[in-house]
Amino acid sequence: MSGSMLPNRDLLQSRGDTTESIREAFGAHLVVPDVIDRAPSLKLPLLYKSGAQIAPGSLQCAENVFMLPELDMSQLDPVKFYTLIMTDPDVPNRAMPVDREFLHWLIVNVHENDLERGIEIVPYSPPLPELGTGLHRYVFLVLEQSIPISFAASPSSPTPPKSMDYLNDGRVEEQVSSRSPLPQRANSKKLKQDERSQQIQKRDDSTKQSSNFVDQYSPKVYQLSPNEDIKFRLSPTPPSPYRRESIPTIERKKFSTKEFIKKHTIRSIVAGNFFQTEHDDFVRKILSPSKLEEENKGETKARGGATKKVIEMTEEIKNLKISKI
C-alpha cells in the first residue's frame, strides 16, 4: 500500500532507526548471513491492524502479526521497480534449519511506491510456527530490481497454439495432399471441399485454444469482501487484495533469498525489517482447532468431576455430623 495510507508514521520512525542500528540488528540476530549477505541501510516500517509496531528483532505474539501488514514505501524511488520478500529462515528450527527458507510472501515489479501496483507471485501466509521449534525470525526485504521481472509458464503448462499463418501459407494443404492417395477426377472437387472444411475447423479450434490460453494466464485481481476481514481467524491464510500472477513458478519450501537475488540480477537490498515469534495458544487454535476443542472438553469434564467429588464429600461430612448429634 502507498505510504500515505499508513497511519502513525511518526511512531514508526524512531530515533534508533539509523543505518548503523539496522545493520547491527540484522547482524546480531544472524539475518546476515543466514538470509542475505549484506544488511539494508533503511528500515521498512510495518504496522499491523493489532497496533503492533515492528522494530528489528522485536518479539511479537503470533496473534498480533497474523493479518496483512501495512508497509510504508514512501522512502523509495517511485520510478524504479522493487521486489518485496517475506521469509522464515528457521525451518524447522533455528538450531537445525535443514529446510531453510520458507517463503511467506512475494510481490515483484512494485512501482510508484504502491504494493498494489506490483504482481503478487506468492500470496501472503501468516507466521504460524510449529510446536517445539522455538523462536522464528520473519524477515521482510525490499529489493531494487534492475529490470521488471517476468516469470515464464511452467513446463507442465500447455504450449501456445501455432500462428494463423501456419494454416494459410499452403503447407497444411501440401501435407494433407502428400498423405492422401490421389483421388479420381470425379471426386477431386469434393476432396478440395473436404480439405477446406478441415482447415476451417482447425483454424476455429486454434482460435479457441488461443483464447483459452490468454484467459488462463492473464493476471487476475482479487478483491476483499467485507465478511472476509471479519472472519479472518477462521482461515490460516488471510485473503490478499493484491494482483496475483496466474502461474506461480516459485515454491515456498526451501526458498533461497540469495539465489533469487542472483537469478534476477537485483541491484541492491534497499530496506528491511524482521520480528520474532513462536508457537502459542493462538497458533495451536489455528493449526488444530479440533484438537484444542477436545482438550478444552477434557479439562471441563475433569473439572466437573472434581467438583462433583467435593460436593459428595461435603454431603458425607454433613450426614456424619447429623448422626453424631
CA distance 117 to 76: 14
Residue 221 pLDDT class (50, 70, 90 cuts): very low
CB 43 within 8 A of CB 20: no
Judged against a pLDDT cut of 80, whether residue 183 lies above it is answered with no
Is pLDDT above 80 for 202?
A: no
CA angle (40, 46, 51) in 5-degree steps: 150
Give the class (CATH, top level) of 3-151+248-283.
Answer: alpha beta
Q: What is the mean pLDDT of residues 273-297?
A: 81
Query: Is residue 226 over pLDDT 90?
Result: no
Q: What pTM was estimated for this model as a whole?
A: 0.63
> Does residue 123 surpass a pLDDT of 70?
yes
On average, the pLDDT of the chain sits at: 75
Query: For residues 217 and 317, what is the distance between their CA atoms, to the nearest angstrom?
Result: 78
Q: Name the band, by pLDDT with cuts 50, 70 and 90, for residue 205.
A: low
Is 144 or 240 the better-scoring residue by pLDDT?
Answer: 144
pLDDT band at 316 (very low <50, low <70, confident <90, very high): confident
pLDDT bracket for residue 145 (50, 70, 90): very high
What is the phi-psi region of residue 135: left when phi exceeds 0, alpha when psi lies from -120 to 50, beta otherwise?
A: beta
Report residue 176's pLDDT band, with 50, 70 and 90 as the boundaries.
very low
Q: Which residue has the higher pLDDT, 248 or 71?
A: 71
Q: Is 90 helix (H, G, I), strand (E, B) or coil?
A: coil
Does the pLDDT of residue 157 top 80, yes or no?
no
pLDDT confidence band for 311 (50 / 70 / 90): confident
Q: Give the model's confidence band at 168: pLDDT under 50 very low, under 70 low, under 90 confident, else very high.
A: very low
Domain boundaries, the chain: 3-151+248-283, 165-217, 289-324
pLDDT band at 98 (very low <50, low <70, confident <90, very high): very high
Amino acid code (one letter) for 144: E
Evaluate if residue 165 carries a pLDDT over 60. no
Helices 188-217 and 171-179: crossing angle, nearest 10°?
130
Give the pairing type, strands 58-59 and 266-277: parallel
Question: What average pLDDT does the segment 299-316 reach?
Answer: 66
In this predicted model, what pLDDT tens digit does every residue of 16-27 receive, in sequence order? 578 899 999 999
Pairing of strands 136-145, 82-88: antiparallel
pLDDT value for 208:
53
- 316's grid cell: 458425607
Rounded Cα distance, 80 and 215, in Å: 29
Strand segments, DSSP code E, in 178-241 are none
Q: How far apart are the first and last CA of the chain?
A: 80
pLDDT tens per residue across span 34-86: 999 999 999 999 999 999 989 999 999 999 999 999 999 999 999 999 999 99
The partner residues of 47 in beta bridges, in order of sequence, read 53, 70
pLDDT for the residue numbered 317:
74
